[in-house]
Structure 1
Amino acid sequence: MSNSVAQEISQRAAVAARAVATLTEDEKNKVLQSMANAIRKHQDKILEVNENDMKAGREKQLSDSMLDRLQLNPERIEGMATAIEEIIELQDPVGSRKPFNTRPNGMVIEKMRIPLGVICMIYEARPNVTADAGALCFKSGNAVILRCGREAIDSSKAIAAALHEALRECNLPEDVITVVPTPDRELMLELLQQDDSIDLVIPRGGEGLIHFVSDNSKIPVIQHYKGVCHLYVDKDADLDKALALLLNGKTQRTGVCNALEGLLVHKAVAAEFLPRVAEALQDKGVKIHSDQKSASYFNEPDVIADDAFGEEYLALEIAVRTVADFDGAMEHIQNFGSGHTEVIATENEATAQRFIRNIDSAVTMWNASSRFSDGGQLGLGAEIGISTSKLHAYGPMGLEALTTEKFVVTGTGQIRD
């Protein structure tokens, strides 16, 4: 694909972004409801197309985790529509003002939220991102360019067709939500050079994709390389509670970035807790990778070296380590965590607060499953992504993270001496 195609896509999106930026919250909410209705209306068509994508994916021997992300069913399609309706209920950040200060000369300084402009989403086998990103960007006053991987491109186009129907009904340009028509990598590279029209790039997918985008983009990139999430079971943990957190975090859904990949157990409770872990995880078919201290509690575990932790399995596998104390758990997380989500199970509030303060992670949790590290579960509505870099957002990204602030100065004729 030539540079002119990428330029045309990005420039048309920039024009469309100006149309969205002027809409009121009520106007945006009416369009969003039309989008949710259209997704439900076209469910059968979307499922038909998705089944073809799934068939092709199985033929290509995609991993179980990727097939899980690719697959749609009536419940997931209803989830997409419901997520859009949840976004309707969220307060629109665009135009909101907050006082900054009043200068000695009487000028009143405020900060006002404004859209970023054009967002480029690059993602792999996640067709639901089409609806989530489209709705979030729209509500926050932005246009979005969606570049989907070849595994899910037809499903994404089918979802986008429903969203476009809603836009047309509301007399808005389809370029508000653009699905790049081909997964051609050259076109993606050209899009990453369009810094005159595109304001932010958000890649969602494997570590290789995110490195590729970060290395080749002239546009700022929100980064989230992988999700290596840990559960630390403290010496003061309620072990029943800790076991429930472990099973939910590891086995409820494995192919997602907020699934647990590591279990750290304080040595004071290892002898009581790890046999229960071994039995429960064996029942779920979970493969164990363990350090030497923990190995005796499991049936034929894969014993790994101290420097071999930190893998993102995205499968029924987990790494287990016995630590000497709280500081040992902190050191492990510092060395092997990915800055995504870290969980502590403890009934000691002082220990929990120390964990929360000391852990450098986008989300820290006390006695709650890592699976709640999700924009929808945290009350953001559908999330557009999770940032593990700290500029300009950190953690699950909702509406506010898709805006920025400008200064508004109100005077009465003041001039500078």
Structure 2
Amino acid sequence: MTALKKESGDALLDEMLSLGRAAKAASAKLAQAPREKKDLALRAMAAEIRAQAGKILAANERDMKAAGEKGLSAALLDRLLLDEQRIEAMAKGLEDIAELPDPIGRSLGAWDRPNGLKIERVAVPLGVIGIIYESRPNVTADAAGLCLKSGNAAVLRGGSESAHSAVAILDCLQEGLCAAGLPKASVQRLPTTDRAAVGIMLGMTEYIDVIIPRGGKGLIERIANESRIPVLKHLDGICHTYVDAEADPEMARAIVLNAKMRRTGICGATETLLIDRPALKFAKPILDDLIKAGCELRGDAEIQALDKRVEAAGAQDWDTEYLDAILSVKVVNGVAEAIEHIERHSSHHTEAIITANPQTAARFLNEIDSGIVIWNSSTQFADGGEFGMGAEIGISTGKLHARGPVGAEQLTSYKYIVRGSGQVRP
């Protein structure tokens, strides 16, 4: 059984370095593991999660009780909560990852040189991936599964709120690894919830190849500032939905309500609604739907004039990821002003346009500089599982290495294999 510990000083440093050495050794074995063995481990992990569902739920109940006593918001509690359906989704997600093609060993390109050299670019694992995330315990399984499929070892650091849940899940994952004959150290978690361990982790350049943070803006900024290891950023999700003058009114109602209220605490939830001025004639039912669903609206003067229940939006609202049943609403003059607003305030995560005009949609899709852009659908589809990736570690909002949903394929690098027949360079 994995134990929760509280340590500091040299003892913690020694334990972290031991963890790093074990991860590095495991990654070398995973890089050579055949698909069959990796997939066997993934399916064994899924079976163990199902078998230990009661233990996972009991651990989650401890986390939920502690979080409630701390006064966490309803949206954050929803992110933390596990139930039978979500546990089954974790298990199914691991099985879905097993069904994906093996991303390792793929030929990414091959060509012959005039001197007879044959050159091939081949996909390889990144190595050891450190993943730092906050309250969602299902990330433990998703991250481990994707790292395993792509031949990488994983070092996980979940939030203190989900510590007991993460331990219970990790036990199942490591049982699955052992059942398939793969190193238990292929998936590890930090030995403590002490923040000092994160500081040590960010300097373990000898053992960790990439850091992937998944959480709030404060977490991401700290890691980006302190890490000596390359960081694949998952920034906050300040996502926008723009309702164009030529949108179908009923489609707009359904999409906006879903984009905001399906799950308010996920990074793909819409946080700002932009409405084309001519679309105000059919905007009132959209606002009614949101308020009826329990959403607090903060709008500009025109939106307030349309509905007296709307609070006044402040300058900070356009730059806020609420992760709650709160939505900022603004009137714009056409798609050009919508694009301008999004480029100024977006975190470059996910943006959507609702319109029946393909030319307007094309301009929006082409000019918006975000990881995901959507036409006539909900921003809540910003999810690796919905993209057919099996699962995701996060949505990368940067531009280097990977962008958008980060699945197994995005957790690879490549090397060049050169085959000769005795050539020497003149």
Band of TM-score, shorter chain: over 0.9
Write the deviation string for residues 132-180 of structure 1: whole angstroms up to 9, x where unpaired. Answer: 0111000100000011111111110100101111122222221100011
For 1:134, the equivalent position in structure 2 comes to 144
Write the deviation string for residues 252-294 of structure 1: whole angstroms up to 9, x where unpaired. Answer: 1000100010111111111x22211221112111111101122
Moved over 6 A (4+): none
AA at the equivalent of 2:359: A
**Conserved in 2, the CA contact under 8 Å of 1:278 and 1:297?**
no
**Conserved in 1, the CA contact under 8 Å of 2:133 and 2:159?**
yes
AA at the equivalent of 1:393: A
For 2:170, the equivalent position in structure 1 comes to 160
Write the deviation string for residues 3-44 of structure 1: whole angstroms up to 9, x where unpaired. Answer: 222211111100011111111111111111101100000000
| 1:400 Cα offset (Å) | 1.1
Structure 2 distance, partners of 1:225, 1:166, is: 31
| 1:189 Cα offset (Å) | 0.4
Q: Does 1:399 align with 2:387?
A: no
Structure 2 distance, partners of 1:309, 1:98, is: 41
Unaligned runs of 5+ in 2: 1-7
**Conserved in 1, the CA contact under 8 Å of 2:157 and 2:190?**
yes
TM-score by length of 1: 0.98
Structure 2 distance, partners of 1:152, 1:98, is: 39
For 1:115, the equivalent position in structure 2 comes to 125
For 1:20, the equivalent position in structure 2 comes to 30
**Conserved in 1, the CA contact under 8 Å of 2:317 and 2:328?**
no
AA at the equivalent of 2:111: N
Q: Does 1:229 align with 2:239?
A: yes
AA at the equivalent of 2:424: I
| 1:308 Cα offset (Å) | 4.3
AA at the equivalent of 2:379: S
**Conserved in 2, the CA contact under 8 Å of 1:291 and 1:306?**
no
Structure 1 distance, partners of 2:150, 2:298, is: 43
For 1:341, the equivalent position in structure 2 comes to 350
For 1:170, the equivalent position in structure 2 comes to 180
Write the deviation string for residues 86-138 of structure 1: whole angstroms up to 9, x where unpaired. Answer: 10111111011132432111212111000000000111111111110111000
SS at match of 1:344: strand
Match of 1:310 among 309, 316, 319: 319
Number of residues paired by the alignment?
416
For 2:3, the equivalent position in structure 1 comes to none
For 1:219, the equivalent position in structure 2 comes to 229
Match of 2:43 among 22, 28, 33: 33
Structure 2 distance, partners of 1:191, 1:278, is: 46
Structure 2 distance, partners of 1:212, 1:51, is: 30
| 1:297 Cα offset (Å) | 1.3
For 2:417, the equivalent position in structure 1 comes to 408
SS at match of 2:319: coil
AA at the equivalent of 2:177: L
Structure 2 distance, partners of 1:348, 1:166, is: 50
| 1:46 Cα offset (Å) | 0.4
| 1:306 Cα offset (Å) | 5.4
For 2:262, the equivalent position in structure 1 comes to 252
Please give the root-mean-square deviation of Cα atoms over the aligned residues, in Å: 1.1
Paired residues for 1:1-400 under 5 Å: 1=8, 2=10, 3-270=13-280, 272-305=281-314, 308-400=317-409
| 1:310 Cα offset (Å) | 2.1
Quick check: 108-117 or 60-69, which moved more?
Answer: 60-69
Identical residues among aligned pairs (%): 43
Q: In 2 relative to 1, CA 88–314 (structure 1 residues): closer, same or farther, beyond 3 Å?
A: same
AA at the equivalent of 1:279: D
AA at the equivalent of 1:359: I
Structure 2 distance, partners of 1:157, 1:395, is: 28
Structure 2 distance, partners of 1:83, 1:190, is: 31
Structure 2 distance, partners of 1:152, 1:274, is: 40
Unaligned runs of 5+ in 1: none
